[in-house]
Structure 1
Amino acid sequence: MDFPISGQHISPIYLAAVGFIVGIFGGFFGVGGSFLAGPGLFITGLPMNFVVGTDLAHILGKSIVASREHLVRGNVDIKLGLIMAGGTIIGTEAGAQAIQYLKQFKMVNVVVGIVFIAVLILISAFMAWESWVTIKRSHVAELRLKGKSAPPAVRRFHEKVQRFKLWPMINLAESGVKNISFWVILIVAVVAGFLAGFLGGGAGYLRMPLLVYVLGVPTKVAIGTDLFEVVVSASYGTLSHAIKGNVDIMIALVMQTGAAVGAQIGVRLTEFFRGAKIRLAFSPLPLIGAALIVYGLMTGHQMK
């Protein structure tokens, strides 16, 4: 199928299948799925600036479906999500501007690809270590608390963050987080937002771990809140990239046909797993995205 906006010919069955798989992972892990969708688009030969913008548009539609399902289950902290959205929008625009700068030198594919690989490997390694240690040391405690506490393996860092008392201080009732600085939340959001604008998607592969490990949000609430925040921030990110000519809306719509179904399946699967096991299952997935990007760079895809 020809997509005139980006000038590419891509199988719609492939795009729908990628959307379906990403939808399942997104609903289950609380991430937009750009760690798979972005590389999945890149290996088709789609220029990286279109990968970033189109992935954001696709992630937006899927996240609307998944966040609604999590909201019904009480897994969304709306207050936290709105604060995160504000910071993410700031960071997303900065990331989009960085893409525009690199386009001038035709360096988008290489620079974004290398940064993407590094981020994905670091996240995968850390989450695998933390979740494995948590399961080994605190399995009984986690069952007793029903996943409502911060991961024991990194609790010391989380407690240090909450001791940072810079006004204004806020309470997050739904997340069970008390008296945390507004600026800590904002910094987390801006960093994740920059990577969303620069690497594409909602950057949930980074934001979900940050919510758990830095802010101390329970895993399932972090999943639902992250998806809710993606709806708000990805709306802005999609508009920003569309104005800059980086979005092929037809590709995004084809992917969304599969993602809408997959997202609902993923959300329902979270009812059968606890926090640390979800994080352990998530940890190898970023490596798949990293491998796809390495493949794309090695095959010589260039900006067109």
Structure 2
Amino acid sequence: MWFPITQVSINPLILAIIGFVVGVLGGFFGVGGGFLAGPMMFWAGVPINFVVGTDLAHMTGKSIVAARRHRALGNVDIRLGALMILGTIPGIEAGAQLIERLESIGNVEEVVGLTYVFILTSIGLFTAWESLRAIRIRRTDQLEVQEVLGIQSLSYRSRLLRIPPMIKLRVSGIEEISIWAIILVGALTGLLAGFLGVGGGFLRMPLLIYLLGVPTHVAVGTDLFEIMISAGYGTVSHALKGNVDILIALTMNTGAAIGAQIGAVMTRYFSGPIIRFLFSFLPLIAAVLVLLRLAG
């Protein structure tokens, strides 16, 4: 199939399959999947200057579908997501400014790459350790609940930040928490996303769980809600620069729409610790991909 915007011919079935695979992962784990979709799109023949913008457009559509399904399942805390955005946007800008300063010094790719590897590896190993501990607790105590945390001290300490105004997050099951704690988590994920050049899903989902105490299923759905907005903003920015092939994005979304629905529904059949354990492999895979790129 000929795509006139990028001036390339690509088998649409390949693009739909890429969208489907990334859609399942996004719907199940609450991530954008750019770490996987980007290289696969480039391999399929999408020009490198169109990969990021087109992936963001595809990510926006996929996240809308997945977030709607998760909301129907009761897994989206809109109040939490909206408050996080207040911190995410300035955080992204601060991260981008930090990148510009590093570029003036030099060696920015090595610094960003190694920071990315360190953070992803830390997230992957910590999540694997905590989720395995939670699985053992659930089995030993014969608990029937969906959500068990292997470590609760971090979220407990964040609740001690009692700077008004305080807010109740009914969907997340949080009786009272400072708005500033939520904005701070949003700013932290935005800063890292702007600095590392990633969507933030890898970072946001664990922080929602471990720092704020949000249940895993709600963290997944709320993360997708935020990705929907941030990816939409990024799509408009790249489209104004002429870096989005909307036809490729729509072709990918034919598969992503189905995959996102499947991934979202699948979360009903897995407990929080199992979802977190499976999620722990994604940051580790992404870290390996970054290391391979740096080595090459």
TM range (shorter): 0.7 to 0.9
Contact 1:56 1:237 in 2 (8 A): yes
Matching residue's letter, 2:23? G
Cα offset for 1:105? 9.2
Q: Which residue of 2 aligns with 1:33?
A: 33
- Indicate yes or no: 2:127 matched with 1:127: yes
1:284 to 273, 277, 281: 281
Matches within 5 A, 1:101-120: 112-120=112-120
Matching residue's letter, 1:262? G
Cα offset for 1:172? 0.6
Q: Which residue of 2 aligns with 1:156?
A: 153
Matching residue's letter, 2:263? G
- Indicate yes or no: 2:219 matched with 1:222: yes
For residues 105 and 79 of structure 1, do their structure 2 counterparts lie closer, same or farther at Cα, with a shift above 3 Å needed? Answer: same
Contact 2:14 2:44 in 1 (8 A): no
Contact 1:37 1:55 in 2 (8 A): yes
SS of aligned partner of 2:139 = helix
- Indicate yes or no: 2:61 matched with 1:61: yes
Q: Distance in 2 between matches of 1:291 and 1:157?
A: 28
Q: Distance in 2 between matches of 1:222 and 1:7?
A: 39
- Structure 1: give runs of 5+ residues left out of the alignment: 300-304
TM-score normalized by the length of structure 2: 0.85
Q: Distance in 1 between matches of 2:211 and 2:94?
A: 23
Q: Which residue of 1 aligns with 2:81?
A: 81
- Structure 2: give runs of 5+ residues left out of the alignment: none
Q: Which residue of 1 aligns with 2:262?
A: 265
For residues 32 and 226 of structure 1, do their structure 2 counterparts lie closer, same or farther at Cα, with a shift above 3 Å needed? Answer: same
TM-score normalized by the length of structure 1: 0.83
Matching residue's letter, 1:253? L
Cα offset for 1:196? 3.4
Q: Which residue of 2 aligns with 1:192?
A: 189
For residues 242 and 119 of structure 1, do their structure 2 counterparts lie closer, same or farther at Cα, with a shift above 3 Å needed? Answer: farther
SS of aligned partner of 2:176 = strand
Cα offset for 1:294? 3.1
Over the matched positions of the two proteins, sequence identity in percent amounts to 54
Q: Which residue of 2 aligns with 1:302?
A: none
Cα offset for 1:139? 3.1
Cα offset for 1:277? 0.5
For residues 140 and 60 of structure 1, do their structure 2 counterparts lie closer, same or farther at Cα, with a shift above 3 Å needed? Answer: farther
